[in-house]
Amino acid sequence: MECPGQQIRRIDLFASNGEWVWSVNGGNSAQVTFTSERLPSGSYFLRARLADGRARVRPFVRP
């Protein structure tokens, strides 16, 4: 995740209408939407959908 010229101090995720959306440094961003998918192993994939249609997937484990 790149934000040229902006230092990322905190990224918050919150659910909105069944999708994950983000807040960077306490501000809102409508350009990225997160969705999560649970895998049979019990881990999850976090998929970040960018406004231009590109998607990035990051694996993460259940806390």
The string of pLDDT tens digits covering residues 44-59 is 777 766 665 555 545 4
User: Rounded to 5 degrees, what are φ and ψ at 42?
Assistant: 100, -10
- DSSP E strands: which ranges in 1-63? 11-16, 19-24, 27-38, 44-50, 55-60
- pLDDT level of residue 35 (50, 70, 90 thresholds): confident
At residue 5 the predicted structure's pLDDT band, cuts being 50, 70 and 90, is: low
pLDDT for the residue 9: 65
What integer is the mean pLDDT of 34-51? 73
- The confidence band for 36, taking pLDDT boundaries of 50, 70 and 90, is confident
Of 38, 61, 57, 59, the C-alpha closest to 49 is 57
- CA distance to 47, 58, 61, per residue, from 36 (Å): 6, 10, 11
